[in-house]
Chains A and B, each alone.
Chain A
Amino acid sequence: NAGVTQTPKFQVLKTGQSMTLQCAQDMNHNSMYWYRQDPGMGLRLIYYSASEGTTDKGEVPNGYNVSRLNKREFSLRLESAAPSQTSVYFCASSEAQMVGYTFGSGTRLTVV
């Protein structure tokens, strides 16, 4: 099984450009999450989807939008990229409330 697949792995954007980060899981998990990781800041939750058809804001949602396309896929969109969005983005999924996440391999995004 592939687990959680994120694309692309690397991306360089110019300020103001838009892009969508893709995430898909093949574990039939209900819940999916988007985090960003910055040096010294740990992982911060951007958005999450507790189940298909629902999405909720996390700690740092400004500048991002999400779509839970179906049970497998959860995308993150940057409408107008800013240098402050330079980060490593991780998608994760989980089956139930009491278990941990499975993470994707991450997307390293640089906004210049």
Chain B
Amino acid sequence: QKEVEQNSGPLSVPEGAIASLNCTYSDRVSQSFFWYRQYSGKSPELIMSIYSNGDKEDGRFTAQLNKASQYVSLLIRDSQPSDSATYLCAVRAGGSARQLTFGSGTQLTVLP
């Protein structure tokens, strides 16, 4: 079983809608969770980090974490065509681990 699972999509939403991206992870002791956005042909760019259960909001983005269910999600409100990209979920294990394990990404298309 892959350690970090994402629905590969593609996910299409109309402009102005809420896009919901989901991620599950297998390591119960994981401590840090990140969402990256990657435009085609570009490098990943960090957009959100979350460390404790609940919601964290930053502008149009909301990250949600449920450690009991081993589930992290990203909501994008008022989606724009410029949000069209692949979104990568990344998880850092507990203890002294520094490396991140990435999901394979969800491709999001926002239709004008």
Interface size on A, residues (CB 8 A): 24
Could you name 10 residue pairs across A and B whose Cβ atoms are closer than 8 Å? A42-B88, A43-B90, A45-B100, A90-B44, A100-B34, A100-B100, A101-B44, A103-B44, A103-B45, A105-B42
User: In the bound complex, how far is the Cα of B92 from the Cα of A101, in angstroms?
Assistant: 11
Q: Is the C-beta of A40 less than 8 angstroms from some C-beta in chain B?
A: yes
List chain B residues, Cβ under 8 A from A42.
4, 88, 102-105
Tell whether, in the assembled complex, residue A58 and residue B92 are in contact, meaning their CB atoms are under 8 Å apart. Answer: no
Q: Which residue of B lies closest to A99 (CB)?
A: B49
- Report A's interface with B, CB cutoff 8 A: 31, 33, 35, 40-45, 48, 50, 58, 90, 94, 97-106
Tell whether, in the assembled complex, residue B43 and residue A106 are in contact, meaning their CB atoms are under 8 Å apart. Answer: yes
List chain B residues, Cβ under 8 A from A40.
8, 104
List chain A residues, Cβ under 8 A from B100.
33, 45, 100-101
- Report B's interface with A, CB cutoff 8 A: 4, 8, 31-32, 34, 36, 42-46, 49, 51, 88, 90, 92, 96-105
Q: Which residue of B lies closest to A30 (CB)?
A: B98
Tell whether, in the assembled complex, residue B43 and residue A103 are in contact, meaning their CB atoms are under 8 Å apart. Answer: yes
Tell whether, in the assembled complex, residue B102 and residue A43 are in contact, meaning their CB atoms are under 8 Å apart. Answer: yes
Tell whether, in the assembled complex, residue A100 and residue B101 are in contact, meaning their CB atoms are under 8 Å apart. Answer: no
